[in-house]
Amino acid sequence: MTTKVDLKDQHSEREMDNDLLADALVRLSTIAKHLNISSHTLQALSQPLCTLTSYISIRKDNGESAYFKAYRCRYNSLLGPTKGGIRFHPSVDQSEVEALALWMTLKCAAVNVPFGGAKGGISVNAKSLSALELERLSRSYVRAMADFIGPQTDIPAPDMYTNERVMGWMMDEYETIKRVKAPDVITGKPLVFGGSVGRTGATGTGAFLCIEALAKKRNWQKHKQTVAVQGFGNGGAQCALLLQKAGYKVVAVSDSKGAIYSPEGLDILSILYEKQKSRQLKAVYCENSVCELVSHKVLTNEELLALDVDILIPAAVAGVITEANAGLVKAGTIVEIANGPVSAAADSILHEKGVFVIPDILANAGGVIVSYFEWCQNRQGELWSEEQVTTKLSDYIHKAFEQGWQRHVSTNIDMRDAIYAQALERLTLAIEAHGTHDYFNAN
């Protein structure tokens, strides 16, 4: 008889209040208990494989030296080389990086991508750096991590406040250190360096495909479905744009400074244009280069989360829906583009309210799926067309959604539990293939 593992017991309530990894492990343990997942799988996921931390320095434009804490976690490599983004943000710490790497492990397994999970980051306010300082920081990070990453070991990608240019700098620095050409060491690169078409908008596109799949199941009239998007970065903006084009009514969007709301609906393309031009979020309608301010209400991000809409899309940071505010959520459907936007404690409240949640490990998996495509193209020396990438992405998302949906319907469990189940089952198969206690004891 194998010993049961309760990941919740390993962390005190005090730790879970401010420890993202502890919260992620509590959710994992709770779901695994409901699904009767093997204790061997929980043990394998209870701790990261390895985490490298480093203080890195750069010379600032004024001649001063600046120091930053940097991290890279390879959480689990059962299914393949580890994969995960690099974020530049003041909130980055070891717990966050390890939690994100755990979710990436589950995400890759859920959508059947042959990668393990990883994540990296630097605790920095990227907005405070000049372009040259940002390049120095990016290259310094790779110098610290060069022996920890690699095309067949751990493949980074862009994340919060990093982009394809940053990935290009990082790839160039890795190649300089290793004295090789290695486009497959980094994904999310510029096209000219071996990047893939469709990678930049893949996260938002994947979430949109999930919503479209749900719309077919629910027979929605799209023009009657109202949407609020909390977070107007790459993923949230792309998803909002696709939703509006498909006929949904996007009534609210927000960035780090606040939200705008119009019950008649917003023109997302015009808002994107104005934000790029003025760095401000405004409800505008643009005809060519002329923009006109339209009637809208200014809200806080907290008020946006409580709007009476059909679909709520948290697309900013982790932990925005908690035990304290979950009861205020009025949306019938939540689509998690951000990683971990709903805390473990909030899950039960949303369940009692009948809120349907498409979990982050499916909803935001478009990015890692197309990163896998990019890695494959680099390894094969090929360049796929946009049509190939789009078709393959749709196939992966719809297959994973359909498997989760059928389990959700047949067993009457939450969609989050259903998607976690298919991820944990694939990881369990990998563990059992190596042999478990039962195998070696001839059971």
Count of structural domains within the chain: 3
For residues 394 and 198, the answer to whether their CB atoms sit within 8 Å is no
Residue 377 placed within a domain:
no
Q: How far apart are CA 239 and CA 243, in angstroms?
A: 6
Residue pair 266/352 in contact by the 8 Å Cβ criterion: no
Give the Cα-Cα-Cα angle 73, 16, 43 (nearest 5 degrees): 55
Q: What are phi and psi of 64, to 5 degrees?
A: -75, 155
Is-contact 57 65, C-beta < 8 A? yes
Inter-CA distances, 369 with 113, 366, 396, 425, Å? 7, 5, 8, 19
Burial of residue 46, with CB atoms counted within 10 A of its CB: 0-12 exposed, 13-18 middle, 19 or more buried? middle
Beta carbons of 285 and 199 less than 8 angstroms apart: no
* Percent with pLDDT over 70 in the chain: 93
Judge whether 297 and 323 are in contact, CB under 8 Å. Answer: no
70 & 42 share domain:
no
Together in a domain, 125 and 180: yes
Instruction: Give pLDDT, residue 18.
Output: 59
Q: Compute the residue count for the chain.
A: 443
Pairing of β 290-293 and β 311-314: unpaired
pLDDT of 67 higher than 80? yes
Amino acid code (one letter) for 118? A
* Strand (E) or helix (H) holding 408: helix 386-411
Q: Indicate whether 248 and 308 sit together in one domain.
A: yes
Task: Report residue 24: phi and psi, to 5°.
Answer: -65, -40
Contact partners, residue 354, CB within 8 Å, separation at least 6 = 332
Structure tokens at 159: 């994340």
Q: Judge whether 16 lies within some domain.
A: yes
pTM: 0.91
pLDDT in tens, 216-275: 999 999 999 999 999 999 999 999 999 999 999 999 999 888 899 999 999 999 888 888
Report the CATH number at residue 78: 3.40.50.10860
Q: What is the pLDDT at residue 288?
A: 65
Chain segment 362-387, per-residue pLDDT in tens:
999 999 999 999 999 999 999 999 99
Instruction: For residues 221 and 340, state if they share a domain.
Output: yes
Neighbours of 256 (CB within 10 A): 12
Please report whether residue 192 resides in a domain. no
Same domain flag for 175 and 270: no
Do 131 and 55 sit in the same domain of this protein? Answer: yes
* Averaged pLDDT score across all residues of the chain: 92
pLDDT digits (tens, 9 = 90+) for 266-318: 999 988 888 887 777 777 777 766 666 777 888 999 999 999 999 999 999 99
Question: Residue 289: which domain range?
Answer: 202-358
Domain identity same for 169 and 88? yes
Has 224 been annotated as catalytic?
no
Residues 284 and 227 in one domain: yes
Catalytic residue among 83, 107, 119, 189: 119
